Amino acid sequence: MGHVHGHHEPLLQAKYPPQAALVVSVLLVVCALLVRRRFGTTTTLSTAREQLLSKLPSPPRRLPIIGHLHLIGSLPHVSLRDLAARHGRHGLMLLHLGAVPTLVVSSPSAAQAVLRTQDHIFASRAYSPATDILFYGSTGIAFSPYGQHWRQVKKIVTTHLLTNKKVRSYRHAREHEVMFEAGTDTSFIVLEYAMAHLMQTPCLMNKLQTEAVIKETLRLHMPAPLLLPHLSMADCNIEGYTIPSGTRAIVNSWALARDPSYWENANEFMPERFMEGGSAAAMDNKGNDFQYLPFGAGRRMCPGINFASSTIEVMLVNLVYHFNWELPVELSKKGIDMTELFGVTVRRMEKLLLVPIAPQD
């Protein structure tokens, strides 16, 4: 054994001379300094960001890994409204959805700050692998981050495809094709809710005010009750709080549209509020009234607002004008169930079943 050790020791010394050990030590020190410089700055920035976020109102019981996800029920827009009522201040509340801090906006003034006053800061979208897979690398107008590509896409859509003039020119074709298109469009959800409410209040069907009915249906039943998340591109001030760069913000437009502070009988279907002389007669759905945002507001407002409004109007008028409607016998006894089901969009849990009857000449 002694002979073996004596044989290998010189080999080790010859392979790794003292100078090599010194060089390795110096390289390790340099690498350590570079790592500290690189990640030490990141840690400092992260700590500063966490300090700013910690000043925002937030629910207790934040759990490791999942954050506040356990507080979100089967209808997220309802859960967020209830959480904001208990834990929010000035219409703002911070939730940690997993590891992602998310600012939930639930008041018109806070929504105006995000979507108009600081619109240039909150104009981007957060990266998501899911949207990359489902929406062609997030290159569409809805999910594309703010930049030159998004501006070009928006210009094409709003200037050449969905202007008022273009939408009007499609009207004749829509009258023939719209019922087919509705089956794959969120417009069908609004139409179904509108018909359900009209069946509950037949007197409104006899004196149909289409625009008011559509507006009231959108107020109560937005297909997308939570606006798509916005991403802040710089630090900014919202309602007295400093919101750091890189924060996601979700506007709960459903909560705004049902807030009893701004809407009389907020949970009741009352199209007359949008008619002449009504409390909301002057409101439109173009993002100018921040208690009513069915299509959002600001730079990232839904560009299909004209097309959707016109499509729903054509469908509703044709259904009511050409047919009388009755509930099936089994439904007439128990009434129409308006329970919601949350998914990519929010729709009725039960499909609406109606019996069309040709009007008598």
Binding residues: 302
Strand partners, 124: 231
Residue 18 corresponds to which tokens in the numbers above?
């003292």
Contact 204, 101 (CB under 8 A): no
The dihedrals phi and psi of 345, each to the nearest 5 degrees, come to -125, 170
DSSP E strand stretches across the chain:
92-97, 100-105, 230-231, 236-238, 241-243, 248-251, 324-326, 340-342, 346-348, 355-357
Contact 298, 118 (CB under 8 A): no
The single-letter DSSP state of residue 244 is: P
Tell me the C-alpha to C-alpha distance, in Å, between residue 121 and each of 71, 144, 235, 237, 342.
29, 15, 8, 10, 29
Binding positions for heme: 302
Secondary structure string (H, E, C) spanning 245-256: CCCEEEEEHHHH
The single-letter DSSP state of residue 329 is: H
